[in-house]
Structure 1
Amino acid sequence: MAEANTILRSINLDGETVCVDIFARPDGSFGFDEYRRDPEDGRGWFSIGHHGTQAFDSADAALRAARQAVAWLDDALPD
């Protein structure tokens, strides 16, 4: 069984149908992706950002990149 990524932080857009996850990989690298879910669809969250293959040296670096890539993220985070 392959090891799974560990979600370190999940930031939701109002309405909780869109989020950005910051995660750690089993290989020690970090990443992020943007996800969406539709409440009427029971399949759960799916990637809409397609950023999950990018690798970063730290969770902070992944978050900085996410803030650059995801338009709504800066408004959802405190200063």
Structure 2
Amino acid sequence: MEFAHLPNRVVQSINNETGDHCIDIFVRDDGTFGYEEYRRDHEDLRGWFSLQRFGGQTFASEAEALGHASKAVDYVK
């Protein structure tokens, strides 16, 4: 039996003050971590959209991914 590729599992999500941008810290099925920034327009009911800026980077731990995110995105502390 073959299993479909599982999506990344979000372990932490950090929103900006206005709630229209967020960073998701995620773990991949291979045990590596990453993060991506998303945005949404409150009047657009389709939800969150990836800005596709950071998701390809690979980190060994959640803390390492969060550290890089805090340097790259000003609302992540």
Q: Place the TM-score, normalised by the shorter chain, in its bin.
A: 0.7 to 0.9
Amino acid at match of 2:28: R
Code of the residue aligned with 1:22 in structure 2: it is I
2:15 match: 12
What is the aligned counterpart of 2:42 among 36, 39, 42?
39
Runs of 4+ in structure 1 off by over 6 angstroms are none
TM-score by length of 2: 0.87
Q: What are the ranges of 5 or more consecutive residues in structure 1 without an aligned counterpart? A: 75-79
Alignment identity in percent? 46
Instruction: State the match for 2:68 in structure 1.
Output: 65
Consecutive unaligned residues in structure 2, runs of 5 or more: none
Aligned length: 74
For the pair shown, the structure with the greater C-alpha radius of gyration is 2
Output the aligned Cα RMSD. Answer: 1.2
Please, what TM-score do these two structures have when normalized by structure 1? Answer: 0.85
